[in-house]
Amino acid sequence: MSLNSPIFLKRSEENNSKFVETKQSQSTSIASEDPLQNLCLASQEVLQKAQQSGRSKCLKCGGSRMFYCYTCYVPVENVPIEQIPLVKLPLKIDIIKHPNETDGKSTAIHAKLLAPEFVNIYTYPCIPEYEEKDHEVALVFPGPQSISIKDISFHLQKRIQNNVRGKNDDPDKPSFKRKRTEEQQFCDLNDSKCKGTPLKKIIFIDSTWNQTNKIFTDERLQGLLQVELKTRKTCFWRHQKGKPDTFLSTIEAIYYFLVDYHTDILKEKYRGQYDNLLFFYSFMYQLIKNAKCSGDKETAKLTH
């Protein structure tokens, strides 16, 4: 029979179609089992070797750690720093850490390790002063006053306008001068030419959800624009009992915020620019997943 016969071509198309459907079904199944599988990550071979060799010494404090030192925010001796990816972020990040949050269990350290020039970690009650910069800062925290990421620029622009109006509300200054000053210092929200990205810093709280209230209600954070990540689901291995799966670990929240910020605010196609923020997280996720499947409790302990 000729390989170009209509019957052969039809069977070939049917087989190809079935193959594609099977692959898509398998990919969907794998993705549901491993939500971190499609990340654009640097080679994790250095972590694989470190995991096999066990704990190593921190070159700063001398402590025995796995992968990195969670007090000095540096990789340990058997994880060469030049083999750890550096991530460039579009804005600065402040992390306010609860004093009772266990350092070794905090994923906030991942952000500091992978984007050291963009991330600062403060231990409560140490909080920077944000009052004079509330028009360029936002706090990621769920609540009735929280907005979505796509609305950040609109609300911050409104704050800029209100601040300028307040400064120029001088009864001794002629009204035409006040108006001219306002026009120079801010734009109409409906003017597309003036729409920018006033956000310069984002704040995250690093603690268990039962401990967040003390930090969140601190007067230094009151009045800041609140942003909520409403559609993302956690795959954190230490899921907090009784909390919904939309309550993310700190590094997940940072990562998903930046991905949405990139597409919704910067209006650019996301091509994995921030995936390496999950460099340690994805490795530990897979390590613990494999340990649970094999019943290897010792391997799971190594990640703590």
Fold of the domain built from segment(s) 88-160+196-298: Alpha/beta knot (3.40.1280)
Question: For residues 92 and 257, what is the distance between their CA atoms, to the nearest angstrom?
Answer: 13
Q: What end-to-end distance do the CA atoms of the chain give, in Å?
A: 64
Element spanning 94, H or E: strand 92-97
- CATH 3.40.1280-classified regions of the chain: 88-160+196-298
Q: Which of 143, 135, 110, 90 is nearest to 263 (CA)?
A: 90
pTM: 0.77
Burial 127-145 (b: 16+ CB within 10 A, else e): beebeeebbbbbbbbbeee
Q: Is the pLDDT of residue 75 over 90?
A: yes
Least confidently predicted of 26-30, 78-82, 297-301:
26-30
The C-alpha atoms of residue 286 and residue 259 are separated, in whole angstroms, by 22
Residue range 45-55, pLDDT digits in tens: 999 999 999 99
- Average pLDDT of the segment spanning 68-74: 96
Pick 20 or 100 by higher pLDDT: 100
pLDDT value at 96 more than 80: yes
Q: What is the pLDDT of residue 7?
A: 44
Decide if pLDDT at 79 tops 70: yes
CB contact set of 164 (below 8 Å; sequence gap of 6+): 181, 182, 185, 186
Alpha-carbon dihedral 250, 252, 258, 264, rounded to 10 degrees: -120
Q: What is the pLDDT of residue 181?
A: 42
- Residue 13 clears pLDDT 60, i.e. is over it: no
What's the rounded Cα separation, in Å, for the pair 1 and 8? 9
Given a contact cutoff of 8 angstroms between Cβ atoms, the answer to whether 130 and 137 are in contact is yes
Question: What residues pair up with 147 in beta bridges, in sequence order?
Answer: 227
Q: How far apart are CA 283 and CA 289, in angstroms?
A: 10
Joined together, the tokens standing for residue 52 give 């096999």
Burial of 254 (0-12, 13-18, 19+ CB in 10 A): buried
Is the Cβ–Cβ distance between 207 and 98 less than 8 Å?
yes
pLDDT (tens digit per residue) in 215-267: 999 999 999 999 998 767 767 555 555 555 556 889 999 999 999 999 999 99
pLDDT at residue number 34:
66
In whole angstroms, give the CA distance from residue 180 to residue 62: 61
Asked if pLDDT for residue 109 goes beyond 50, the answer is: yes
* pLDDT (tens digit per residue) in 140-160: 998 899 999 999 999 999 999
Tell me the C-alpha distance between 253 and 216, whole Å.
16
Give the lowest-confidence range in 102-106, 129-133, 268-272.
102-106
Measured CA to CA, the distance from residue 132 to residue 126 in angstroms comes to: 17
Q: Are 57 and 77 in contact (CB under 8 A)?
A: yes
Residue 120: the pLDDT is 98
| Cα–Cα dist 72/79, whole Å | 14
CA within 13 Å, CB half, 169: 6
Q: At a CB cut-off of 8 Å and minimum separation 6, what does 217 contact?
A: none
* pLDDT at residue 182, rounded to an integer: 41
To the nearest whole number, what is the mean pLDDT of the chain?
79
Between 197 and 272, the higher pLDDT residue: 272
Q: How far apart are CA 30 and CA 80, in angstroms?
A: 32
What's the confidence (pLDDT) of residue 115? 98
